[in-house]
Structure formats: C-alpha cells, structure tokens
Structure 1
Amino acid sequence: MTLSRRALAALALIVCLPAGWAAAQDRLDIVATTGMIADAAREIGGDLVDVRSLMGPGVDPHAYRQTRTDITAMVRADLVLWNGLYLEAQMEEFLLDLGQDRPVVAVAEAVPENLLIGSEDYEGRFDPHLWMNPNLWARVVLNIRDAMAEVSPEHAAAFSANAEAYVSELNDLARYTTEVLSSVPVESRVLLSAHDAFNYFGNAYGYDVIGIQGISTESEAGLQRIGELVDLLVARDIGAVFVETSVSDRNVRALIEGAAAAGHEVVIGGELYSDAMGEPGTYEGTYIGMIDSNATTIAAALGGEAPARGMQDLLN
C-alpha cells in the first residue's frame, strides 16, 4: 500500500495529530517495524515510552506490507523506527515518504559501510540482518538511543543510562555465544538454513553459512539449487540443517528428502529465529533470548557443548 504525501497529511488530520509531538504526551509513543528494534526501544526507554512492534512472531519483514492500522499508528507516533537496508522492502517507499514530515529513522543504515556485508540479491545494497551479530547490534542500539533522545531531549540522560546497561548485557551475550559456538568442531561449523539471514553470524563466529534461498525470502530455490546443496551435504558430511520460525520449511524438507535419496541422512537440527523473535512474554521473545536460543541450538546440533537452557543456566 502506497500513500502520497497529500494522503498522509489528510490522514494526520483525521487522527488529530498534535503539533507538539512528544512534549504533548507524558510517554514517548514509538512504533518499530521489527520485534528486535521494539525490544531495544523498550530497554532504552523503560517507563518513559510506549512501544508497538508492527511485525510479531513468525512474520517475514521482507514481504510485509503496512496495513491501514499500521499507517494510523505510524502517523500518530512521536517516532517511527525501522531497520532499513531494504529489510522492509515492501514498506520502504511508504516509510521514506512518511519521513519527509515526521521523525522516521532507519536505525541500521547509520552503521559504517565497512562493517556491512553486500547483498547478492540486490546490487548496491547491503545485507540487513545485523542483529545476528550482538556486537554489531549494539551499534544499532546506540542509534536507537540517539533517535529517541532527538525526539525527547529532556529524557536523553535516562535513555543514555539505560542504553549503557543494555549494551553491557549485549556484551555478555556476545561472550556467551562466542564460547558456546567455538565448542563445535571446526569441520562441523556449517550452518545451512532456509534463507541467507545468518551471514553476519558466520562472520562473527567463523561458520560457513548457506541459505537455500537468498537474503530475501522473496527469492525462490529451484530444483538445480536443491540438487547442488544435496551434493554439498554429501561431500561435507553435513548431518543437520535448520528451519526458521519466519520462513516456510518447504525447501528445507525438500533438501532432506533429496539427501535421503542420495543415501545421506540429514536431520533438522532445530528451529532458529531469523527475521522475527519468539512469542511475547517468553525469553525467546526478547532479542537476547532469541540470539541465545539460536547459538545454543546450533552448538548442540552440530556437536558442540551447550547448556540445556543456554545462557540462562549460567545466570542461575
């Protein structure tokens, strides 16, 4: 759905958007596209913010289109936070248009280009899945902090203190994931999943990452691609592949069947959170829980040593 600036202005009048932005409200009203961004905004804002995530568990941001309810929420919001880097491909035109009139920030696009991975699907663009590396995501968290402080400068000190505490937790997460993933034998460090969401993960932890589909879930895997990957599974003696919560498992199961036909047994090593977190109110429904779960699942499936409950076991 695409709206012109004139239509956006009309909608703003319909919902009676105040001219005072955050100053007219006690709590900063934030709309975030993804759960990962929303989770960071809540950690930074605490009781000073109300945060709504447009995309919940199992939702694919590559294909998501804004609804009328989403449009109303974003027009009413004091601040709209989106990932950028073409993650929200179907929403990009709308978000850029909306940003001409109000605070709309693509929080991943301020990360230096030398830290980004190029996209094989889209020439001149970058892989948007920065959250797969906690150290890179910490940079995005600071961009979220700065965007919030820009809109609500009277709360900048509180946002800064909360962000510092949260980044410290992300540093703990990075240490845990590095330790548990390094327990996997070097020859077994191959992560094969539904689509290329894990390239930053591979760079951070020294894993070969293979997606059946490309960076965007909109790309399709043909029979030739499946056949090539079956040959790879056999040649490298890979015994486990992974499904994702926000992507159909159809291609993964086709790959397993193809390997079986070639006389090679492959199992599903577990379910990974790629483009969306777990259910609200659960540990996996937080960014830290999402990445902890992924690292623990991958390590256990590929022959490493991992606590049954991941990092939670080390904290209890």
Structure 2
Amino acid sequence: MKVVDLHCDTLMALSKARQSGIEKTFGRNDLHVDLFKLKKGDYLLQCFAAFTDAKNSPSSPLIETLQEIDIFHEIMKVYASDMAPVYCFSDIERNREEGKISALLTIEDGGVTAGDLSVLRMMHQLGVRMITLTWNYENPIGYPATDFEKSATGSFRGLKEQGLAFLSEMENLGIMVDVSHLSDEGFYDVARHARKPFLASHSDSRSLSSHPRNLTDHMLKVLAEKGGIVGMNYCLTFLDEDRDRLRQRGAAETVADHIEHVRKVAGIDVIALGSDFDGIEETLDLADASKMHLLVDALERRGFSTGDMDKIFSQNALRFFREIL
C-alpha cells in the first residue's frame, strides 16, 4: 500500500542533533523517519516540515528554518538515487517512474516569514510548497488553536488582515494552505476566503478526542465540501483522552477509529495521513514509518476496501496535490 504522509518533523530532529554535536545520517538512524524506514513502509511521498519553536529559538526562527531547509536540500543531494524533491505535480509522477521516493518541503508556522510577502516568495523559490499558517503562538498571520476562548475584546480570533493577504499570495504561488494549528475562527476565515482547496496536514477528530488541535464534525464537512483533505495525526494526545485505553488498544486501532468517524461524517475522499513523526514522542505500535502495515491491518479488520484504503494512504493526497501544485 503506497503511502503519502503530509507531515513529519524530521528536519527539526536532524537539525537539533547537529546543533548538539551529533550527526545523524538520513539513510538510517534512530528517528521515526529515515530512508530505510520509508522504503520498508512503501512510501511514495513524504512531506518534510521545516519547524522551529519561535519563542524558544536560540538564534532566530527564520535562521533555524533556513538551516532545516538547507538540511532538506542536502538530503536531496546525498540520496539523489533514492529520493527527489517535488516542486510540481509532474515531479511526483516522474519520481515514481524512476523508482524514487518523493520529498515535499513544507514550513510549520508561517510566522517565520513575519507575514512578509517577499519572504513568502523567497520560501517558494527555496522549494516550499506547503505552509502551516500558525503553530501554537499568535503570529502576524493569525491565531492558534490553543483554546476555545474569545479574546479580551470579546471577539473570536481568526486570520489577521495580513493573514488574508498571505493566503491570497500562497494561492497565487501554488503553495498549499495548511490549517492545522490554526484557531477555529481562522479555519472558517480560510474557508470563506480561499479560492482553492486547503488542507489540515496533521489533525484528528474532535468528536473522538476534544483537543483544540482536532477538527469538529462541521469543520470536517466544510473541508470536504471545499475539496480539501485532513491528515490523520498519530499523536497520542490527539487520539484518545483516555491514555490507559489507548495503550491497551494501540495507536493503529485508534487512528482507525478516527478514520472511520471522519468517513462517516465527511466521506472517504477527505481522509489522508499526517503522522507528525519526529514531532511526537510516544507512538506505541505505530513506532515509525516502517509500521504502516499495522494501520492497513486495522482498516482491513473493519471492512475497508482496497480502493478506500488506497484513497486514504495516497490517492486523496495526490488528487489534492494535482489541483494545487
């Protein structure tokens, strides 16, 4: 079963290791994602996020992001016989024909651009093709999904004026708009103003786990209506608030719960995968990128057809990429 994963934080993990004096080879390492594990997991495409915690950056968020982008291009050069970058949809098709895994560069937290459209355009030139508009902090684009409360002024906090300009320019450039981490009102601002489909790269169902990073049933329906996709996140906090039950049943089975629920409320065509590997600590049975067969098994036990699983594991994401890239 070919796999497309919409989000991992492996670039951050590699960069942190390098800064601490430990050089990890991408070919094979102790992280959730490396070339060996991607091959074993039968990956068609992995999205690699350049991410930094803006409030705790030892240098500057922009410098850290550029360092991670540099690592991405270094990986593409060193492992060119096995992986190749994606800048447009035809790259995915060519890479598949050449037997290579595709790698798509993203940014988690558009705030590293300071909301500056010229910086956004430079990120596009560096190969960025998806941006998560916010992380866990307010930035010049908008507000994060940290709670369900109103601001001190009594109004809900969504996209800022500069965020609307950012959204428009991303669509002009062909950069995918990612609403994971964005506030609820920000989600609806994107839904109201976006001219093209958008995605939530690594989120789950709030009906099954009430974390604010997850999407409500109504949000899932809106995402589907707009032609978007949601990547199922393997983070335990997003999967089940009952940690004992989660440990007993396993991550694969619980991710399957979310997939089944999303299919019921919004349809099969909105579902994709967004592991959050190397951005999460404990993963239980979905230990790394080589273990995707466990999720296949969990869905097969529930009666999902091969066609439906193909959509979840790769085809829905590819349809989305084809329209935006």
**TM over 0.5, yes or no?**
no
TM-score (norm 2): 0.30
TM-score (norm 1): 0.31
Query: Looking at CA atoms only, which structure, 1 or 2, has the larger radius of gyration?
Result: 1
